Amino acid sequence: MCPPAHFQVTYSINPWMDPAKPVDTAVALLQWEDLRDRYRALGHTVEILEPVPGLPDMVFSANGATVVDGKVFGARFANAERWDEAPAHLEWFRAHGYTEIHEPEHVNEGEGDFTPTASWVLAGAGFRSSPAVRAEAQEFFGRPVIGLELIDPRYYHLDTALAVLDGDEVMYYPEAFSAGSRAVLARMFPDALLATEDDARAFGLNAVSDGLHVILPVQATGLVQPLRERGFEPVPVDMSELHKAGGSVKCVTQELRD
């Protein structure tokens, strides 16, 4: 996780970002600290990436890399405003003993568009990451990479439209995907939890699950009971200040799958 010390919205690279709407950095920091503390209270270790001045979106640390089996697949951001985040992430990994690190040839925004399940790596494209990166990632990770096409600009990253709950169990918002990708998802995950538009719009799919606890935005009320019925324990948190830049729980959380 990376503290939102320099968080602000001074440009717009997704439909949620409006530089005319004020951002309260102090409130964003309090919300971020609450999420960090909840992870620790649940028994998880939280590593801290130091924020860099001039990179207001660095708080969205999920975008900086994808880690699977201890292998680090770096990011190559689509927008110039975020280009300098990628080397900052790779520097952290090198300093912390990671040796299998790949600097990508093709555009990808880390876990924003790469979502590992137990069996596959799901790969979103349509707004940020290049379809060409799928083969590159598959070769590096040695896992099947399944492409999914996003069609609604509000759900510009895969992690705004789909979340892994446990193993190969997922929840997703079907209308965020192309017809072909919806068919693929239905075939791969016939028992998936399907989110409503209201919960998708509330960033309810920008969630993090440890296999039991599902940390998700407090505004996504419609997902709480369905998750409980499946044996999960919802942990609602308020990340509303970060929503102004198009991100929530998952966007600020990069998972280190060592």
Q: What is the pLDDT of residue 78?
A: 97
The whole-number pLDDT of residue 94 equals 98
Furthest C-alpha separation in the chain: 45
Q: What is the DSSP string of 83-117?
A: TTHHHHHHHHHHHTT---EE--SS-B-GGGTEEE-
pLDDT digits (tens, 9 = 90+) for 83-122: 999 999 999 999 999 999 999 999 999 999 999 999 999 9
Kindly state the tokens that stand for 76.
């190559």
189/187 Cα distance (integer angstroms): 6
pLDDT band of 188, cuts 50, 70, 90: very high
What per-residue confidence (pLDDT) applies to 50? 97
The architecture in CATH of the region 25-243 reads: 5-stranded Propeller (3.75)
* pLDDT tens-digit readout, 117-171: 999 999 999 999 999 999 999 999 999 999 999 999 999 999 999 999 999 999 9
Measured from the Cβ of residue 45, the count of other Cβ atoms closer than 10 Å reads 7
What confidence score (pLDDT) does residue 162 get? Answer: 98
As a whole number, mean pLDDT of residues 61-75 equals 98
Residue 151 near residue 140, CB atoms below 8 Å: no
**What mean pLDDT comes out for the span 13-20?**
96
Q: Which residues contact 188 (CB under 8 A, 6 or more apart)?
A: 120, 146, 168
Residue ranges covered by each domain of the chain: 25-243
Tens digits of residue pLDDT in 199-244: 999 999 999 999 999 999 999 999 999 999 999 999 999 999 999 9
pLDDT given for residue 127 in this prediction: 97
pLDDT of residue 85: 98
Q: What is the pLDDT of residue 213?
A: 98
Question: Which residues are tagged catalytic?
Answer: 157, 251
Residues 6+ apart with CB under 8 A from 17: 9, 11, 244, 245, 246
